[in-house]
A and B are shown apart, each in its own frame.
Chain A
Amino acid sequence: MTVTATLNARARGSMWIDAGILLCVAGLGFSAIEVAAEWEQPLRAAVAIDLSPAALPRYALYSLARGWIAYACSLAFTLLVASWAFYDLRARRFLLPALDVLQSVPVLGFLPGLVLALVGLFPGSNAGLEIACVLMIFTGQVWNMTFSYYDSLRGVPPDFRLLGRLYGFRWYHLFLRIELPSGAQGLLYNSMVSMAGGWFFLSITEAFRLGDQDFRVPGLGSYMSVAIERGDARAQVFGLLAMGLVIVAVDRLVWGPLVLWSRRFKLDDFGAAAEESQVQRWLARSRAMQAAGAWCGRQYRRFIPPPVPAALRIGAAGADDPPARGGGRWAYRGFLAAAVAGLGWGLARFALLLFRVDLVGWGEILAAAGWSFLRVLAAVALGTAWTVPVGVWIGFNPRLAHRLQPLIQFAASFPAPMVYPWILLLVLRVGGSLEWGAVPLILLGTQWYILFNVAAAAAAVPADILSAAALLRLGGWARWRKFILPSVFPGLVTGWITAAGGAWNATIVSEFVHAGGQVYQATGLGALISRATDVGNFPRLAAAVLVMALVVAGINRFVWRPLQAFANDRCRFGN
């Protein structure tokens, strides 16, 4: 009885779901045409932005398209470069430090070079500007994904690799059946973080001034930036709502189902069984999707034949892989040489640019770096002060954590610069200036990382330790100093690393704020970079970006790494 009922429900549901999916596909196709049309528009530096709410869906679509294209590039880059670094020992020695440095370069530092180069490449159309915008989002997304995938490649159990060899896996089998599944969870988590990181600078990457030129591509970010510039509060509210909707929709429709689905890729035994999400259930009930799935499966088997283990190859001559051909190796060497040459050329150009900064300029940059350093420090300290107690409280209360997690996640992925004018208004109202008002602005975007990691660390404290602490009657400050702080310290350090990196990036937008037709500035490296971009002073910009990258990389190397090693050595539970 119930069985037939559900069967009927499946059948009935199927038609509606099929219709829905058809609509979605049609919508996607239409969107693609729309986006493509926008890309092929003739180049116009500053496109007029329509501030009416009716224009928002289209803008949201453009921004989403950029975000996802950038994400696709990030994913491709991650898989290629992380695998390269893993398999090629010689390349690894150069790639890992390079990635580390690139990670420390402020996202907006890439902006002028990319824009000028790409606009030059596509003089007739908007494509150059669009690609530049996508690439900037890409630089905000890619690095942590690459590091995560590289780590998971190193973490693949050696027995799995042996198994692959026993069963005649080719590189693509190894990649699809072992490496990608092993890395799936880490990659997914970092993808979520990256997507949020990509949105962060949306209002800048879509609308910025470079020298005397005003560049703008239509999207949510440019909508917000125009609304802010004109001081149009109604449009700002609508823009924020749209942004929030986009974030929630992406989370619900894409990440949520993927997270549930990816549980099966947990490598240890204690993972929950894979669950089906609502979206997955809907999809499973659609006949159209089933047909599409079957078709994909057939194509997969057609183009990627299953591995043939040696045991089934008896009689076939040359049981093992053919040796690598010399040609391939030479092509690879050629590629390497070209890459090194290109890099050298770029560095030389960069150095020439630097020579045009005089001593006074350098002094100014260093002083500004000092100011920004103080702000970052203040922001991280303030963030730590409130997030540690709250994070511990959340972590020790699993039910609370369950309820608050989506909220925190939302707050973390919301592009903070979009609400800067409102905070700034508040700061000015109480009689402050941006000199210290930048601190809360920086804080706004970066505190969530500390909160996240502290809560996770607190939740992971073993129950026995909790009981022991309770029995010892540790109270008040002693409880914090002897028990809680050391327990969450590894999480805190991880949070600090992410937060501090983000904070340096955020100085660029928080020390130099356009609001209501006015420009507010603070003395700092971020403001210096923003101003240099604004007036098109490239030597100064290059020097400032270099200094920021060095400072971030230096702090990583000399403060965070030792701290992390210490935390992992002394403050880990287990063994």
Chain B
Amino acid sequence: MATPETLLELCAVSHEYGNGGTERERVLQDVTLCIAEHDVVALLGPSGCGKSTLVRIMAGLIAPTGGEVRYRGQKLAGVSPGVAMVFQNFALFPWLTVRENILLPVGSLPEAEQKARLDALLATVNLGAYEHSFPRELSGGMKQRVGIARALIASPEVLCMDEPFSALDVLTAETLRNEIGRLLADPHHPLRTMVLVTHNIEEAVYFATRVVVLAAHPGRVEVVVPVDLPYPRNPDSPAFQAIVANLHAILTRTALPDTTADAGKVVTQKDGARRRIAPVSLPPVNPGEVLGLLSHLEDGERDVFELAERFGKEFAAVVRVVKAGELLGLLETPGQDVRLTALGRELLAGSTDRQREIIREQLKRLKIFELLLRLIGVQPDKQLPEEDLLRELQALLPHEKPRPQFRTLLNWGRYAELISYHQRKRLITAYTRKSPRPGASPSG
């Protein structure tokens, strides 16, 4: 048997978005990847790691700003000849029937050929009875089948799927996954080369011959984990579970590196001189989410993945909440586990006012909040215009989008009664506490 032929090569691919001016965002850095025949590569990673950009580069839809893409040894210029794509939100034309949508790529073939291909595909994806329906009458799972059929009909050599199951409900996604698994298990099926973008570890292990774990900001390859299990794979088998556990550990390490406890904090050294410290962004979560997480940790430490499963949430989303808790000194994360700190316990036991007070004190210790309060302080009228803060954030955290960070800061600041925001005038001011009860006279 000949060695499988290399189809797609990415050599040190980097990509930056932006207008070429100051507002540039580096989404990919030095990604080198090689996809041979019968490879199933899963791209796994948190949001912001450039997964979607990476598949679009593979499909030739985006020309990377650095590095080179080769298809069958030839430098890619324009759309890849052998790559088809399945979109997260299906991208079906609502004005065409299922049949017309699927036939879209092969309109140039003779009609008999079109019909033969269509019939074969409709049988494969179990859509025969829907041929003349419009997409809006179909459920999400059926729509994605149409999307897959449309991608397959031009007999591509590589099928790229950008989060194909994440717009579907859990049960539907399961069904569709099993069906695609069966296709992969079939040695006679022509298409067994795939690139799958996902944030779901089990999905990655279920399909992939190689799982590429990406890290974010900027997106880069963290590690590549080979999966040598035969198809069809059984998610309950110990071998499968072992790989999942390994990936869990890797992802946790990527997402929650064991940094020093005072990262991003304002640190005052004994001689009074401030150490220069880069501010760390606050993960985009709400105070309510962090408090909710704390109450789940009351009776001991837990694994991040177990929590994700329990909340029915995406792993990356839980990691964001954990990170926020850690930054505020309410949680610590030894290895894969999460547990409360003493302060976290105190907060859980405290009254609502006390909770707010603790968070207020913790926020004040964060570099980013210290800067925010200082910025308000230096305004002549102690009112900070929104656009000024946005500009500052862009400069302070060049890898982040300023708008979400701005919203997170506002959320936390207002929750802790540190700042107040006038939405109509778009001004941020320091919060002045009103006397809690009309009876209690303000001192002074």
Contact = CB atoms under 8 A, between A and B. Distances in A.
A181 B95 contact: yes
Interface residues of A, number: 35
A267 B91 CA distance: 11
Contacts of A309: 79, 105-106, 154
Contact of B106 (A163, A181, A312, A313): A312
A515 to B, nearest CB: 50
A530 B54 CA distance: 64
A314 B82 contact: yes
Contacts of B154: 167, 309, 311-312
Contact of B78 (A157, A265, A307, A319): A319
Contacts of B105: 166-167, 307, 309, 311-312
Nearest to A270: B136
A306 B108 contact: yes
B61 A177 contact: no
A162 interface: yes
Mostly, the A contact residues are loop
Interface in A392-439: none
Interface in B55-104: 56, 59-61, 77-85, 87, 89, 91, 93-95, 104
B137 interface: yes
A265 B95 contact: yes
Given A273-B136, A274-B134, A162 B95 contact: no
Contacts of B93: 160, 177-178, 181
Contacts of B82: 310-311, 314
A198 interface: no
Contacts of B341: none
B404 interface: no
A124 to B, nearest CB: 48
B156 interface: yes
B123 interface: no
Interface in A246-283: 264-267, 269-271, 273-274
Chain B: interface size category? 20 to 34
A358 interface: no
A311 B136 contact: no
A313 B78 CA distance: 13
Given A309-B154, A311-B155, A163 B81 contact: no
A166 B94 contact: no
Contact of A312 (B83, B108, B136): B108
Interface in B138-171: 154-157
B91 A273 contact: no
Nearest to B136: A269
A39 to B, nearest CB: 38
Contact of B108 (A178, A266, A307): A307
Given A159-B87, A159-B89, A166-B85, A312 B109 contact: yes
B61 A266 contact: no
Nearest to A316: B81
B292 interface: no
28 contacts: A159-B87, A159-B89, A159-B91, A160-B91, A160-B93, A162-B56, A163-B87, A163-B91, A163-B104, A166-B59, A166-B105, A167-B104, A265-B94, A269-B136, A270-B136, A271-B94, A273-B137, A309-B105, A309-B154, A310-B60, A310-B79, A311-B84, A311-B105, A311-B154, A311-B156, A311-B157, A312-B105, A320-B77
Question: Which 3 A/B pairs are nearest by Cβ-Cβ distance?
Answer: A306-B107, A320-B78, A159-B91
Interface of B: 56, 59-61, 77-85, 87, 89, 91, 93-95, 104-109, 134, 136-137, 154-157
